[in-house]
Amino acid sequence: MELPLSSPRTPAEYEKRRLFAAELFDQGELSQAAIARLLGVSRQAFHKWHTTWKSEGPAALTAHPRGAEPFLNGAQERALAALLDSAPTKHGWPDQSWTLERINHLIRERFHVAYADPSRVWRLLKRMGFSHQAPAMRAAEGDEEEVDRWRTQVWPWTKGGR
């Protein structure tokens, strides 16, 4: 039997340590205090594992998902990705920018789920593989001469006036 990591970092590593403890319970050769020392856990934590193991078996020591379930399931996330691949103008917005507020509106409209905080929408998008992006090219309707005039005349005047 290989001794698990003394300071686990992931749920799977914690589970491995608990299941190793269950194997040691089964053998019955070591005291509870000795097993707790061997695994580097407190006697209280060990006692909790042992009680759980005794009443529910080793399956009760496996890792359980943490946190709340995501609002959107996998199929809904794929559908959202397809919607975001289309232009925002196809969904009624006047320009080509997807904002968190617009995406949240789209999610609420299509999937009947509302995120109260825009950071939740951002976390969803990040988990889906999206990233913040700025437009790569200028707008087709942009007037280069007007932009140059503004840059050379209006902008310096604005900075100098302050």
pLDDT exceeds 50 at position 162 = no
| pLDDT exceeds cutoff 80 at 58 | yes
Question: In which band, very low, low, confident or very high, does the pLDDT at 160 lie, cut at 50, 70 and 90?
Answer: low
DSSP code, position 63:
-
Residue 14 burial by Cβ neighbours in a 10 Å radius (0-12, 13-18, 19+): middle
pTM of the model: 0.47
pLDDT for residue 104 is more than 60: yes
pLDDT at 61: 86
Average pLDDT of the segment spanning 72-92:
90
Q: Considering the chain, what percentage of its residues have pLDDT values greater than 70?
A: 86
* Residue-wise pLDDT tens digits, 2-47: 555 556 667 888 888 888 888 888 888 888 888 888 888 888 888 8
What would the two tokens of residue 6 be?
Answer: 């003394």
The pLDDT value given to residue 6:
57
